[in-house]
Amino acid sequence: MVFTADDLLRWKDFPKGLRVLLLDEDSISVAQTKSKLEEMHYIVSTFSNESDALTELANKPENFHVAIVEVSVGKSYGSFRFLETAKDLPTVTDVWIISAAVTSNIHCLSTMMKCIALGAAEFLQKPLSEDKLRNIWQHVVHKAFNAGENAVSKPLKPIRETVSSMIQLQLETTKVEQKNILEAENEIQVHKKGHEQSVATDRFPAPSTPQLKQGERLLDDGECHDQSNFLLEKEIEDQGDPKFVETTCNNTVVEITVKAEPSPRCEEGGIMEEDDSTDGSKTGNRISSPPQDKGSAEDSRIDAGNSKKASLIPNSCRTNINKKKMKVDWTPELHKRFVQAIEHLGVDQAIPSQILELMKVEGLTRHNVASHLQKYRMHRRHIIPREDDRRWQLPRDTTPRVYPQKPVMAFPPYHFGHGFSPSQHYPAWGHPSSHPSSVQVWGHPSYPTWQSPESCPWKTYPGMHADAWGCPVMPMPQGPYSTFPQNSLGFQSFEDKGNLLGNYIDLHPAEEVIDKVVKEAISKPWLPLPLGLKPPSTESVLSELHRQGISCIPPYKNTNSSC
DNA sequence: ACTGAAATAT
DNA sequence: CATATTTCAG
């Protein structure tokens, strides 16, 4: 029966009414099975003759959703005839065939394998218990969804979505795809046999990046530092590649396991993927940062399509199919992007929608950003003031708007124990390019409270990890969005250094220090002036900008303006 | 429709 | 308790 997700959606009381073709030469056995099936409100058509069954199936495939056929292992002849024949029936392709057999355990494996190879969806071992029979509907759902993925495509996705949530059944995700597996806290009991497992979406490979590479990278990521470095190493622009938010989702995989107690669960191992095992890296949800075309200012989400195309295998999570509330995990990387976006927009001017736009993170919603922004601001408010007031009350600005009045918190009172591995630090509220004074470093004892100036810009910090949150961020590309305030031109953040200097200077304005600062200020004109130095005149700033090829300076407020 | 903040939830 | 989501008011 041609059965689509659409049909499924309309199906009330599913799986009641499921049409089952039952083929078994043993009349007693068939009667028993039929009885059980009917108890479940399945509609059963029994056959004791292979030919009859095949004929019926060929002629009226719409009458069946699932076929359960006995494979008579005992007979050396014709055991698989049904399967072999049905396999070639175009009309039957939409019917899941489940083989059942009384097996002599010895042949179990080969028999099962053959059945599966011939297209059987599942191999049930007799006796067919209620449990075994009850779940056959899953194949129908599976089919419907899969069909939707490959053939029916888009129009159906919403439906799948609906159905998913409705039935609480996630699409089957392919094992190969599940390199990233998340640990999910919540479990969904789909059925008696519901499997809980959360699957992380893969990171999408760059068009040029083979899947395998990805896997490797993931492994590396498991070691954490690589990941952060990976990001740091790239320029923002490059890494401007959209990322994907890995949202937690409960992915229930249709169980295609044969429950044959006596014999080994032959095919199971191959099909089911143990989440834990794969999850060597405890990296919880995370964002993928596929290399991507830097050029496309377009919404990166489009890229999602690409990646999907890249992997033929359906992946529920990644496709965002389940719009079930997805909990965004603000990983260091994500937060970094967030902060960067804010920087670009100006700390004060940043608003959720624009941040979202800048972040270019697939799956992230404005609400998510707004929420995070709220938290971000809150932290800034509470923590910055004193620091700020205490050491940084220099009335230096002629352009108050330019320099954020309040420094940004560098290290929020985060703890690093969210189940993350030690190397995975939670993001700090660092504001990469915040001005020098601003940074209050809440450093973890093991972290340097400041960065050496040299290591900052465009460099990675070998020793530092994600915690380098307060860490400088690469300069933003001067893309369409770049309408940042003058002082933010470089977007390097030397907050640490600035901090250090600030402290130091406040206390001991040694000349060498001053020299150093002046030198620094000259060499890095984009940095706020830490000392009592006067900010450059507007003209000089403009000329410098011009010298750097920036001839147009957008107004602070309007971030959309373009030159 | 969007932002920001409070209320809730986890 | 901290963080994320939801709700609500402007």
pLDDT in tens, A412-444: 433 333 333 333 334 455 544 444 333 333 333
Shortest CA distance to A344 belongs to which of A469, A485, A550? A485
In terms of pLDDT, which residue wins out, A180 or A120? A120
Averaged pLDDT of chain A: 53
Answer for the pair A224, A423: CB distance below 8 angstroms, yes or no: yes
What number of other Cβ atoms are within 10 A of residue A183's Cβ? 16
pLDDT at residue A103 in the model? 54
Residues 6+ positions from A484 with CB-CB distance below 8 Å: A343, A344, A345, A346, A476, A491
Instruction: Retrieve residue A308's tokens.
Output: 């999907």
Section A96-101 average pLDDT: 72
Amino acid at A416: F
pLDDT surpasses 60 at A533? no
HEC-encoded secondary structure of A429-469: CCCCCCCHHHCECCCCCCCCCCCCHHHCCCCCCCCCCCCHH
Average pLDDT, integer, range A121-137 = 79
What pLDDT is attached to residue A94?
A: 61
The integer distance in angstroms from the CA atom of A374 to the C1' atom of B7 is 14
Domain-located, residue A281? no
User: Please, which contacts does A144-149 make with residues 24 or more away whose CB atoms are closer than 8 Å?
Assistant: A144/A3, A144/A4, A144/A5, A144/A7, A144/A8, A145/A5, A145/A171, A145/A172, A145/A314, A146/A171, A146/A172, A146/A314, A147/A3, A147/A4, A147/A5, A147/A94, A148/A4, A148/A5, A149/A314
Label residue A56 by pLDDT band (50, 70, 90): confident
Asked whether residue A208 is assigned to any structural domain, the reply reads no
Q: Is residue A511 part of a domain?
A: no
Number of domains in chain A: 2
What is the percent of chain A with per-residue pLDDT over 90, rounded to a whole number?
A: 0
Would A283 be classed as within a structural domain?
no
Spell out the SS3 assignment of A295-340. Answer: CCCCCCHHHHHHHHHHCCCCCCCCCCCCCCCCCECCCHHHHHHHHH
Which pLDDT score is estimated for A31?
A: 87
Indicate whether A149 belongs to any domain: yes
Q: What is the CATH number of the domain that holds A371?
A: 1.10.10.60
Q: State which of A105, A140, A170 marks the end of a domain.
A: A170
pLDDT category, A476, cuts 50, 70, 90? very low
Domain closes at, from A313, A347, A381: A381
Query: Is A354 near strand B, with its CB below 7 A from some atom of it?
Result: yes
Tokens of A98: 């489940």
> Considering only CA atoms, which of A88, A75, A95, A86 is closest in space to residue A18?
A95
A349 CA: nearest nucleotide by C1': B3
The last residue of one of the domains, among A155, A170, A185, is A170
Domain membership flag for residue A10: yes
The closest nt to A377, taking CA to C1', is B4
The CATH number linked to A166 is: 3.40.50.2300
Closest CA to the C1' of C7: that residue is: A367
Range of the domain at A91: 5-170
Contact A545, A526 (CB under 8 A): no
Q: What is the model's pLDDT at position A379? A: 79
Q: Is residue A58 part of a domain?
A: yes
Please tell me whether any atom of strand B lies within 7 Å of the Cβ of A373: yes
